[in-house]
Structure 1
Amino acid sequence: MTDPGPPAPYPPGLQDRPVAELARSLRSSALTSTDLVTACLDRITSVDPVVRAVLAVDDTAPAQARAADLRHARGAALGPLDGIPVLLKDNIDTAGLASTAGSRLLAGTPPARDAEVVTRLRAAGAVVLGKTNLTEWGNFRSTRSIEGWSAVGGQTRNPYAPAHSPWGSSAGSAAAVAAGMAPLALGTETDGSLVCPAGVCGVAAIKPAPGTLPTAGVVPISTVQDTLGPLAPRLADAALCLAVLTGRPLPAAPAPPGTVRMGLWHVKGMAPDAQELAERLADRLRAAGATVVPVEITLPRDMLVDGLDALCAEFRPSLERYLRGRPGAPATLDEVIAANRRDPVELTLFGQELLERCAELTDGDRALAPALRRRSRRRARALIDTALAAYGVDVLMAATSGPAWRIDDGPDPFTRTSSTLPALAGRPVVAVPAGFRGELPIGVSLFGPPALEELLPAALLAERHGEGPRTPAVPPRVPSPRSRR
């Protein structure tokens, strides 16, 4: 039998257009939100059996779309997100819908109230399309976890190569956007959980500084370091979404190349092909007129230890504060650990060593968290600011991570990323697609200045000079016998 070759990319649909273009079409009645939501639901039906990015669809989405259509027909649109479908990571509370953080322990009674960020989305007229899968508990359960896997949603897969990982923890949000299931999605990040899946799934993400968006109603790791952010096929779409949610305008145009000075950081231990691709992007930026110089930054081990110790100390009070508002859920971290041990699915693939480590901390240990946090944040910011000043650059750029690894039955390999330094510093990060290694996307992250407004024009310029988008060719079946449910 002749090998039919790889599957053809799916044809672009309504939902694959830029969000600003969709908004104009909705305002002019050239397009209805009902048609747009239908296109998204059809794409979910078509490709999600393979990608497994969507954990739950909101049955009220068609009614939300009809309400948006009535507003547009009356000339009473609520703004550029009115009628635009958005998927939400399933650690973000939605009243009456899912909101499990991937854990079967939260799958019983949905929350009674929306997270504050969802309230803002609804006030802007966005259509809550559904919830996306994630690495369970935001990837803060085990040191040997599997990215993109949860006991509720199973294994999310990379839409460009479904035998490969989508990374995490915002795996479902990144994979769904990459596969055209929605024009926008929200995810969360503590360290890398937005930018890393964006990088390996070939989409853009904005990780704002902590506090930019409210985290009330979001299953936490650390209320100090957690943040929410948008993912989209294009950076301008993500910036538009964030501008609506924050109520402040954000730059939407690339900086003139001649005004940009970037420092290219090759992270020690990063996959060589990711470093090479970042260097190729730097060469294209130089050819366009930007200044890109190599920079060296070394992350002190004790700074990283301080950051992890602070996270562990912050986790229990952050989680238990959230759990008090979830009737039917375990009330304490100890109850979560005990319930996981009784559950027939939760611990089948990996353990819960991080949860257990956090549970063993004493009140005295947790009292050290503010000092550890201040020290690690001060040192991380000093590393960034010193590099910016010493090399005379405005922003830093680095490969986000190496390409996605092949999904296997064991724990994921250790992979270097560039996300930890800005995460510890509490600085914003913007991730954009840079190119491909074979069929696998690789992204770059830009960070440095404390204000997102200073960062976005350079990131938009970097995106413009990437290798360009491709459409994932999602096959009709997963080319691997390993299913992970």
Structure 2
Amino acid sequence: MRKRSVATLITALLAGSLLTGAPSPSAEAADNRADSAPPADSPPRLGVDLDTVTIPELQARMADGSLTPSALTRAYLWRIKTVDPKVNAVLRTDPTARQQAAASDARHRDGTTRGPLDGIPVLVKDNVDTRGLASTAGSLALADRPPKTDAALVTRLREAGAVILGKANLSEWANFRAAKPTSGWSAVGGQTHNPYVLDRNPCGSSAGSGAALAASLSQVAIGTETDGSIVCPAGMNGVVGLKPSLGLVSGDGVVPISAEQDTAGPMARNVIDTALTLAVLSDHDAARRNSPATDPTRPADLRGKRIGLWRLPTLGPKVDALMVRTARKLRSAGAEVVEVTPPYQERLAELEFPALLSEFHRDIDAYLATREGGPRDLAELIEFNRDHPEEQTCFSGQELFESALAAPPTTDPEYRAMRAELKDLSRRSIDETLAKYRLDAIAAPTNPPAWTTDCARGDNDVIPSSTPAAVSGYPSLSVPAGFADELPVGLLLTAGNHQDGKLLSLGSAVESRLDAWRAPRYLPTVGPDPVR
């Protein structure tokens, strides 16, 4: 049996996947016959701690034969069966997951593995087309007919040997339906809960992906973001989330809000797993153009790094105190931390929403035209929601849909001027701040402490830190910073255009220094929301 060391896997990652795109392996040998056998009543004994184990550690165990992809997959299916009822993060598991894992077992035995993700279980957000599995964006309108083809990013995961474990719940239509939505709720899946405190919200449209990772229901997960919907769930659930540079990951087959801002991205419990997953997801040509100058799987030395801290005290005194402690820890590791306030934020807030309305109407019509059955465009989708009471069980509004239907088309000169100004100001807000203070990255709190989930009130989520990177298309990375009492808070790192690799390397160093991960305790409540 030919063994592959972790060092070899890392070398292959850097020389292959991240620099030149994922390899094109032969077709999967296993067929798609359903495997409906339930997980065992007792957890498989793996010899690893799923809360903390990394992909390189798993691959080392698989290489020496002490762990198999099938055993790992069974362990995660067991956790979904026994733990997820508290959290409600997983909509459905893939009935072929065990077969996928068995095929990976064979590749590991034969020494023909496809890279670091071979045999690694992945949950996919339910707005990403996955053949044979309902892919609904949380809406009953798309529930009846699964897509016949995979989204491009799912194809890349399969080609890399990853095990598609199932679909994660999300905020319905990625939180772009009602004026006051409740994050983590969908008509298809109900409400996802924050694993740390179950009556608190998981934040953002990738709520199920973030909560599932916190509860160790999968090794990695895929999220999507227009503004904050990867990084906020990562921060609020105490995990890692990368919003990649726009265009680095294909959006083909992903339910859209706006092609000008949408991106899928990797989420995990640590930075190294996030970096390894990005290497698989990355578009071939874009990955080659944007390849990092440093190895993202090895932490950078913080000595001499310059980080600008955007404190955002409006997120509350406990978060601000945590940011002060974080700056102290980074300085003690040799980083230079200076306080900054990126410019143009008020103007970005004024322009972003009207532009997204026009883009959503264009892009959702184009997507719905690719799905058989159900509404064919936004107008029919609005009528569907009016006719189906199940779509109104948490919140009844669809004000954003209605506003988008009435918004100017993307050919309108006023819209085009608005999007041009957004692109210019958002990029300048980051570029000018980085240049003025000679920074490697801008750091800010990712999120406030999680608010109590309340369908009548909706979210309490005015969180400005994600907007500059989201609108500009630059990368941002949330890593765990610590806790406000029992509730996780993330540190959001933002870097320059196409600096994804350098950002991951810096994030790994920050993650190591802060050492803020701890497993959730599934507390029922901790009292009223904190004062902000």
Pairs within 5 Å for 1:424-439: 424-439=471-486
CA distance in 1 between counterparts of 2:302 and 2:346 reads 36
Query: Does the CA contact (< 8 Å) of 1:159 and 1:201 recur in 2?
Result: yes
Post-superposition CA distance 1:89-145 (Å, at most 9, x none) = 000000010110000111010100000000000000000000000000011111200
Post-superposition CA distance 1:168-191 (Å, at most 9, x none) = 210000110110000100000000
CA distance in 2 between counterparts of 1:307 and 1:108 reads 33
Query: Does the CA contact (< 8 Å) of 1:281 and 1:462 recur in 2?
Result: no
Q: Report the 3-state secondary structure (helix = DSSP H, G, I; strand = E; otherwise coil) of the residue aligned with 1:359.
A: helix
Post-superposition CA distance 1:62-105 (Å, at most 9, x none) = 00000110111111111111110000000000001011000011
- Amino acid corresponding to residue 389 of structure 1 in structure 2: A
CA distance in 1 between counterparts of 2:281 and 2:461 reads 34
| Aligned residue in 2 for 1:132 | 168
Q: Find the partner of 2:503 among 434, 451, 455.
A: 455
Pairs within 5 Å for 1:167-182: 167-182=203-218
CA distance in 1 between counterparts of 2:367 and 2:429 reads 33
Identity %: 46
Structure 1, unmatched stretches of 5+, are 1-10, 481-485
| Aligned residue in 2 for 1:372 | 418
CA distance in 2 between counterparts of 1:175 and 1:379 reads 33
| Aligned residue in 1 for 2:459 | 412
- Amino acid corresponding to residue 192 of structure 2 in structure 1: T
CA distance in 1 between counterparts of 2:386 and 2:339 reads 49
- Go from structure 1 to structure 2 and tell me whether the alpha carbon gap of 1:109 and 1:169 turns closer, same or farther (over 3 Å shift): same
Query: Does the CA contact (< 8 Å) of 1:13 and 1:39 recur in 2?
Result: no
* Deviation of the 1:300 alpha carbon: 4.1
Are residues 1:311 and 2:356 paired?
yes
| Aligned residue in 2 for 1:7 | none
CA distance in 1 between counterparts of 2:84 and 2:69 reads 21
CA distance in 1 between counterparts of 2:420 and 2:509 reads 33
CA distance in 1 between counterparts of 2:410 and 2:443 reads 39
Q: Find the partner of 1:470 among 506, 514, 518.
A: 518
| Aligned residue in 2 for 1:261 | 306
CA distance in 1 between counterparts of 2:252 and 2:405 reads 23
Once the two structures are overlaid, the 10-residue window that deviates more, 163-172 or 445-454, is 445-454
| Aligned residue in 2 for 1:239 | 275
CA distance in 1 between counterparts of 2:130 and 2:355 reads 29
- Go from structure 1 to structure 2 and tell me whether the alpha carbon gap of 1:12 and 1:165 turns closer, same or farther (over 3 Å shift): farther
CA distance in 2 between counterparts of 1:187 and 1:366 reads 31
TM-score, with length taken from structure 1:
0.93
| Aligned residue in 1 for 2:15 | none
CA distance in 2 between counterparts of 1:268 and 1:425 reads 24
Structure 2, unmatched stretches of 5+, are 1-45, 527-532
| Aligned residue in 1 for 2:406 | 360
- Go from structure 1 to structure 2 and tell me whether the alpha carbon gap of 1:137 and 1:159 turns closer, same or farther (over 3 Å shift): same
* Deviation of the 1:403 alpha carbon: 1.0
Query: Does the CA contact (< 8 Å) of 1:188 and 1:227 recur in 2?
Result: yes
Query: Does the CA contact (< 8 Å) of 1:323 and 1:332 recur in 2?
Result: yes
Q: Report the 3-state secondary structure (helix = DSSP H, G, I; strand = E; otherwise coil) of the residue aligned with 2:432.
A: helix
Query: Does the CA contact (< 8 Å) of 1:271 and 1:416 recur in 2?
Result: no
Are residues 1:68 and 2:104 paired?
yes
Q: Report the 3-state secondary structure (helix = DSSP H, G, I; strand = E; otherwise coil) of the residue aligned with 1:434.
A: strand
Q: Find the partner of 2:90 among 48, 51, 54.
A: 54
Q: Report the 3-state secondary structure (helix = DSSP H, G, I; strand = E; otherwise coil) of the residue aligned with 1:279.
A: helix
Q: Report the 3-state secondary structure (helix = DSSP H, G, I; strand = E; otherwise coil) of the residue aligned with 1:396.
A: strand
Query: Does the CA contact (< 8 Å) of 1:85 and 1:126 recur in 2?
Result: yes
Once the two structures are overlaid, the 10-residue window that deviates more, 465-474 or 89-98, is 465-474
CA distance in 1 between counterparts of 2:408 and 2:419 reads 17
- Amino acid corresponding to residue 206 of structure 1 in structure 2: L
Are residues 1:389 and 2:425 paired?
no
| Aligned residue in 2 for 1:483 | none
| Aligned residue in 1 for 2:153 | 117
Q: Report the 3-state secondary structure (helix = DSSP H, G, I; strand = E; otherwise coil) of the residue aligned with 2:315.
A: coil
* Deviation of the 1:344 alpha carbon: 1.2
CA distance in 1 between counterparts of 2:399 and 2:351 reads 18
| Aligned residue in 2 for 1:30 | 66
| Aligned residue in 2 for 1:8 | none
Pairs within 5 Å for 1:55-204: 55-204=91-240
Number of aligned residues = 468
Q: Find the partner of 1:282 among 296, 318, 327.
A: 327
CA distance in 1 between counterparts of 2:61 and 2:160 reads 17
Post-superposition CA distance 1:378-431 (Å, at most 9, x none) = 111111111112222221000011110112242122432410111111110011
Are residues 1:227 and 2:263 paired?
yes
CA distance in 1 between counterparts of 2:507 and 2:408 reads 43
**Considering only aligned residues, what root-mean-square deviation do their CA atoms show, in Å?**
1.8
- Go from structure 1 to structure 2 and tell me whether the alpha carbon gap of 1:293 and 1:479 turns closer, same or farther (over 3 Å shift): closer
- Amino acid corresponding to residue 299 of structure 2 in structure 1: P
* Deviation of the 1:278 alpha carbon: 1.6
| Aligned residue in 1 for 2:336 | 291
Query: Does the CA contact (< 8 Å) of 1:14 and 1:36 recur in 2?
Result: no
CA distance in 1 between counterparts of 2:236 and 2:226 reads 18
Q: Report the 3-state secondary structure (helix = DSSP H, G, I; strand = E; otherwise coil) of the residue aligned with 1:306.
A: helix
